[in-house]
Structure 1
Amino acid sequence: MINQWVILSVYIVTFLIGLPANLLAICTFIKKLGDKPSPNDILLLNLTASDLVFLFFLPFKMYEAAAGMHWHLPQSLCSITSFFFFTTIYTSSLLLMAIAVDRYLGLAFPFKYRVMRKPLYASVGSVLIWLVSAGHCTIVFIIVHMSEPNRTEPKTVCYENFTEKQKEILLPVRFEFFVVIYMLPLLVCIFCYINCISILYRRPHIAKVKKQRAIGMALCTLTIFLLCFLPYNASHLVGFSSNNSPAWRYYTLLPSTLNTCLDPFVFYFSSSTFRESATIAFLKKWCFRPKKTKCETELKIISK
């Protein structure tokens, strides 16, 4: 049994936190585009755009949850929603990998990479990432609109209750998703960040705060991969091995939605543009302002 209210609650929390955070981020990065953006800024802009596309289609999944996990909207809208829903998950994982590679090359080969590091290459790389993730997720349209000759009643669920013929196509493709666009980016990120931290700590002249940001960036990225993306991708592996889409797959999508709430931490650790934005500066000042001591309060009352 799927508890629709748990799913709906997580979707609502994700939407309320993720939307303002990512709107702030995209405004910051768009402003940076007119002022010599770095490749890192372009990759982060695309990561933010991916989160916002996800959040744009999230209300349709909220409607589905509120309706008891039934889909009363047109099946064409189901396929479009599912396509963007899944595409942005894998776009995020590939962009996080690209950001990790950019940081590793910049530290390991600072002089050579500085010559080659151009915004155009980051733009081309981002386009390729979108095409790869979108190309993989076109399987949604194939499965949703595959003819079912024995079906007489209208379909009331979205991208669920697959036939044996659909599973023959879907389950192997999902396994390929797990290997190629989840495990591969994860292993690349682990390699890059372990080496980044190792390089930074071998260079004593580098400021401590920069080393701490590198650790924070690595922890945020690995948290997103392991906490947000692993449960959903693990369901692909289980489905392929058991030849059946697991019923608990609905719940594995919930951590994936939280990705949009954790990505702003990646923006903070990896982008000086985002850290120095006016809103972030205000929040830091407001959250970390020193508290008045009891003596100061009493002196203020006496002076009045």
Structure 2
Amino acid sequence: RFFCQTNLVLAVYGITLITGLPANLLALYTFVRKVKQNATPIDVLLLSLTISDLIFLFFLPFRMKEAADMKWTLPYFLCPLSGFIFYSTIYNSTFLLTAISVERYLGVAFPIRYKLKRRPRNAVIASIIFGVVSMAHCSIVYIMQYYDHGNGTIIDPSKRNVCYENFSHEQLKVLMPVRLELFLVLFCIPFIICCFCYINFIHILSRLPNISPKKRFRAIGLALGTLLVFIICFMPYNLSHVVGFIAWSSPDWRVYALLTSTFNACMDPFIFYFSSSALRGTFKHCLKGLVKRLHLSCCRRTFSWPQLNCSMVEESTQSSNDSSR
């Protein structure tokens, strides 16, 4: 059982890291350029979400190491640090996704009034507040790891080989109410706000007569993508908080519910794609470059006179690009 669980954890973490890292790096490059040129609130929020995902992915190998060894073998200070970053970035993502939904809704519901009042600075302030609130709630990781509420003494970290597990009854008295609060405040409220904003967002766009089918498709993709992230990535893990509070112990399936949360880092780029025209342009540019390289590579392997024929392909490709311009 533990062997299968270890393989599953490593597979999910590996897929998330391999797919999420390049996609988020591409998004980071795009949004940094966009913010420098002409920053808008949505660009700031998307940049903040990208940075949050990259921080999450940076600490993911520590959890992969723990899963591979089936115990914590790294320096112990990395245990609460990795857990703190892991959970904080998850809840920070819920806040940022909610803020993006609010921004999109206000943009179509009150286009003139909101355009006059929106400021990138407000998005920066909101991102900072989201990060502080998420880290404040998830500081419970440090409290649980280092303090024994039964005898009021500090536990020697060198005697531990597990990370954020095997809590005492006194620790559960503090942990379980906090987890229930996480479910209510950091998941339910953002999820309800997202549902309200995107349902009305789609409803308003559907009534506009001059909206193009492509724009309507992107709007629906943005709404469905965000709601799917909440349902697939965040809901199972947060439901485990409720089940754990009722049973007063962590459910056995909590480890699998936590795995779905990691997919957030590789699903967010889809939201970026539907939200930002700049990212769509960067993605299409990179895709065309990749297709061109693959085409030239196949050409060199196929033709018997590679230099002659491939140079002809390069010239024809260049001329077609020049004519399209």
1:73, distance to aligned residue in structure 2 (A): 2.0
**Residue in structure 1 matched with residue 51 of structure 2 by the alignment:** 49
Deviation at 1:274, TM superposition (A): 0.8
Report Cα offsets for 1:250-302 as digits up to 9, x if no partner: 1111111111111000000011111111x433427878xxxxxxxxxxxxxxx
1:160 alignment partner, SS class: coil
Tell me the equivalent position of 2:67: 65
Code of the aligned partner of 2:280: R
- Does the aligned pair in 2 maintain the 1:175–1:240 contact within 8 Å? yes
- Determine the C-alpha separation between the residues in 2 that align with 1:184 and 1:283: 38
Matching residue's letter, 1:194: I
Q: Which of 212, 226, 230 is matched with 1:225 structurally? A: 230
Q: Within 2, Cα distance between the matches of 1:204 and 1:243?
A: 54
Query: Partner of 1:125: helix, strand, or coil?
Result: helix
The secondary structure found in structure 2 opposite 1:98 is helix
Tell me how far 1:80 sits from its aligned partner.
0.4
Counterpart-to-counterpart distance in 2, 1:25 and 1:116: 27
Alignment pair present for 1:281 and 2:285: yes
Query: 1:138 aligns to what?
Result: 139
2:104 aligned residue: 103
Whole-Å separation in 2 of the counterparts to 1:140 and 1:224: 24
> Residue 75 of structure 1 contacts residue 144 of structure 1 at CA under 8 Å; is this kept in 2?
no
Per the TM alignment, residue 205 of structure 1 is displaced from its structure 2 partner at its CA by 1.1
| Cα offset, 1:67, TM superposition | 0.3
Deviation at 1:41, TM superposition (A): 0.4
Unpaired segments ≥5 residues, structure 1: 288-304
State the 1:75 CA deviation: 2.7
Once the two structures are superposed, residues 44-77 of structure 1 have per-residue CA deviations (whole angstroms, 9 ceiling, x without a partner) of: 0000001000000000000000002x11123321
Amino acid at match of 2:144: I
What pairs with 1:246-265 in structure 2 (closer than 5 Å)?
Answer: 246-265=251-270
Provide the rounded CA distance (Å) in 1 between the counterparts of 2:276 and 2:73.
Answer: 42
2:208 is aligned with 1:203: yes
Identity %: 49
Structure 1 equivalent of residue 20 of structure 2: 18
SS in 1 for 2:38: coil
Normalised to the residue count of structure 1, the TM-score between the two structures is 0.90
Matching residue of 1:88: 89
Deviation at residue 247 of structure 1 after TM alignment: 2.4
2:244 aligned with 1:243: no
CA distance in 2, matches of 1:41, 1:282: 20
Amino acid in the other structure paired with 1:223: L
> Structure 2: where are the runs of 5+ without partners?
292-325
C-alpha distance in 2 between matches for 1:26 and 1:230:
27
Q: What value does the CA root-mean-square deviation take over the aligned residues?
A: 1.7
Deviations 1:210-246 (A, max 9, x none): 1111100011001100001111101101001111111
1 CA distance for matches of 2:15 and 2:91?
21
Tell me the matched-pair count: 285
Aligned mates of 1:284, 1:265 — CA distance in 2: 19
* Amino acid across the alignment from 1:259: N
Q: Which entry has the higher C-alpha Rg, 1 or 2?
A: 2
> Given that residues 57 and 85 in structure 1 are in contact (C-alpha distance below 8 angstroms), is that contact kept between their aligned partners in structure 2?
yes
Poorly superposed stretches of 4+, deviation over 6 Å? 150-153, 284-287
More helix by share: 2
| Matched residue, 1:300 | none
